Structure 1
Amino acid sequence: MADEAHRTAFIELQGQMIETTGKLKQVQSQMRNKEGEKKRAYLTLEELRHLSDDTNTYKSIEPISVVVKEQEQKLKDSEAALSSLQTSKEYLEKQMRDVENNLRELLQQDPGLARQIMSMSVT
Structure 2
Amino acid sequence: MADEANRTAFLEIQGRMIESTGKMKQVQNQMRSKEAEKKRAYLTLEELKQLPDDTNVYKSIGRTFVLESKAALMNEQENKFKDSEASIISLQSSKEYLEKQIAEVENNLRELLQQDPGLARQIMSMNV
Q: Give TM-score, length-normalised by structure 2.
A: 0.92
More helix by proportion, 1 or 2?
A: 1
AA of the residue aligned to 1:29:
N
Q: Tell which deviates more after alignment, 49-58 or 8-17.
A: 49-58
More strand by proportion, 1 or 2?
A: 2
2:114 to 103, 108, 113: 108
| Cα distance between partner residues in 1 of 2:31 and 2:123 | 35
Gaps of 5+ in 2: 60-65
How many pairs does the alignment contain?
Answer: 122
AA of the residue aligned to 2:93:
T
| Cα distance between partner residues in 1 of 2:91 and 2:101 | 15
Instruction: Give 4+ residue runs of structure 1 displaced > 2 Å after superposition.
Output: none
Residue number in structure 2 paired with 1:31: 31
| Cα distance between partner residues in 2 of 1:97 and 1:103 | 10
Identity of aligned residues (%): 74
Gaps of 5+ in 1: none
Q: Give TM-score, length-normalised by structure 1.
A: 0.95
| Cα distance between partner residues in 2 of 1:14 and 1:110 | 16
2:101 is aligned with 1:65: no
- Deviations for 1:24-62, whole angstroms, at most 9, x for unmatched residues? 001101111111100000000000011122222012211
Secondary structure at 1:58's aligned position in 2? strand
